[in-house]
Chain A
Amino acid sequence: MRLALVASGIHKHFGGVRALRGVSLSLTEGEIVGLIGPNGSGKSTLLNVISGVEKPTAGTVTLDGRRIDGKPSHRIAGWGVVKTHQIPKPFLGMTSRENVTVAALFGSRRMADVRQASEEASSVLRLVGLEAKAETLASNLTVQDRKRLELARVIATGARILLLDEVFAGLSAGELREAIELFARIQEKLGVGVLVVEHVMRAVLTLSQRVVVIEEGRKIAEGTPQEVVRDPAVIEAYLGTEAARAAT
């Protein structure tokens, strides 16, 4: 049975600011869905609502039909939905391996034995290509390695639905290609569902089977990557009215 995550009619207000105004999206295990939109369109807020960091002002989030909106984030993680942080948040005083061991001991996997969890951490570090830095303190990792560590941690929790917040941002062209290949390989191997929030269009368009575009807290388009890039509303949102007129 594949896990299905459904968010419907999500509103989120911060005082007078309406960050989300009725966004809906769905995702099943095994699927990669891209979530794109200009700066401040509400992408990260939506991830925060789904992962339980924020409570929605209105709307529901369900996991296999069970309401999860408004539940604390550690419980949502326990049910297999885990997000990465836009700015990586490693446990600085711990080594890479220890960082990932924590994830295997908690999350939805909840391993009881520290030694087994540590072995599991080693194999996840190998999967993301960080095995050479397993014993390095997280405080000594580069930004890219911290992003890999962030990914390794969510994988080690045993999550079935990953919410990735701009893991490809700030990479050079070569690094990006490498990261995309690595990511595609991991996703295929694990068969997890992934919601990729991204600014880097290329990453989203290459990886996603389906793309959701939001602007100012509303969904303006949804479809295959090819459909979405031709959508006038999307072009307008990204490039302005004139570009949209020229394109059509």
Chain B
Amino acid sequence: MKFLRFLRLPTISDLGSILKVGPTAWGIAICLGVVAVGARYVSTYPLTILISLLVFAALAYSMNFITGLTGYVSFGHVVFMGLGAYAWGGVVGTFHWSPLGSVVIGGTVGLLFALGLGAVTLRFRGVYFAIASLVTALAAGNIILAIPALGGGQGIVLNLGFEPLSQFYTIWLILAIEVGLTYWVTHGRIGYGLRAIKGDEDAAKTLGIDVTRLKLFVFGLSGLFAGAVGSVNAWTVSGVFPEAAFALLFSLLMLAMVIVGGSGTFSGPLVGAVVVYIPHTYFLTVASGAEFIVIGAMVTFIALVVPEGIVGSIRRYIPILRGILE
């Protein structure tokens, strides 16, 4: 495909460098390995906690592809989750496809919608892109509501069996692929191109960077994973409900995780996911509503005091860790 011409197939010498990925990548790989093994031995309640934590992390990496790497703020990112969830619910409900396999459908819909939307809206810069994406999410939610075949305000109610372990391994796999792709993108030629776009798009263009193609590439990845995560999220509640599927809250949480963790960094989305998830879930049970005050205050503090986020600031202020933490 001509569009993907800039991707290069890995060569033998690349395999050697994969082993030299550095401490951050090893650290994340070990964490992922530990939860993958540990999940088999924990009871259902901690497992569901783990699933929702991984959902958060996978969403953070999805947002990081576009907002973290290019600086384009995708305010309506939930639209990919919502459409992915509906596509998943549609094939599971109507054709009785397996919930696991249908996650691919959710991801594909997210990908295609992101490519279509991005081809138009990635031409807008800064706040215009953010507004266009926000409006798209609001519109999509309302359009879905008006389609009777998709259940209208009722949504799609499925009576699926409770299988937390399959759900866990599905979201685990999505996250692992995202982490791998983030590493590959940020460490190669494309990563330099994206940082240039984030720095100064006009200068990037005159140096020969096809900015439209690169932006569309990461936006597509972003939509793909958001769609897949939206499907898993729907699977965990065994249905798709319009209010929840297009809740702007998800967009805000995704942005919060990327900002708090460290926009555009490799480990930042994971750190941000954990830091945002804890107050989110804790206050949800203790004093519902208070979680947003806490998260809002946290984001404000980070944006004002240490705008590079946790990982970015550690790298800036502790030079020794610069070579270790990415």
Contacts and interface: CB of A to CB of B under 8 A. Distances in A.
Interface stretch (A6-14, A99-107, A122-130, A184-192): A99-107
Contacts of B207: 74, 77, 82, 102-103, 106-107, 153-154, 157
Given A89-B200, A114-B188, A74 B195 contact: no
Nearest to B188: A114
A77 B204 CA distance: 10
Given A102-B192, A105-B189, A114-B189, A157 B8 contact: no
B236 to A, nearest CB: 38
Interface in B171-217: 187-189, 192-193, 195-196, 198-200, 202-211
A82 B203 contact: no
B192 A53 contact: no
B206 A83 contact: yes
B195 A105 contact: no
A91 B187 contact: no
Contacts of B210: 72, 74-75
B13 to A, nearest CB: 9
Contacts of B200: 89-92
A76 to B, nearest CB: 8
A106 B195 contact: no
A90 B193 CA distance: 13
Interface string A56-92: 0000000000000000111101100011010001111
A93 interface: yes
A94 B208 contact: no
Contacts of A72: 205, 210
Given A112-B189, A114-B187, A102 B206 contact: no
Pick from B187, B198, B208 the residue with the most CB of A within 10 Å. Answer: B208
Contact of B203 (A90, A110, A112): A90
A143 to B, nearest CB: 16
A108 B208 contact: yes
A16 B150 CA distance: 53
Nearest to A110: B208
A101 B189 CA distance: 9
A62 to B, nearest CB: 19
Pick from A53, A73, A154 the residue with the most CB of B within 10 Å. Answer: A73
Contacts of B187: 114
Interface string B295-319: 0000000000000000000000000
A85 B203 contact: yes
Contact of A74 (B8, B192, B209): B209
Contacts of A91: 195-196, 198-200, 203-204
A98 B192 CA distance: 8
Pick from B187, B189, B195, B207 the residue with the most CB of A within 10 Å. Answer: B207
A91 B187 CA distance: 17
14 contacts: A53-B205, A74-B206, A74-B208, A78-B208, A82-B207, A89-B202, A91-B195, A102-B195, A102-B209, A106-B209, A107-B208, A153-B207, A154-B207, A157-B207
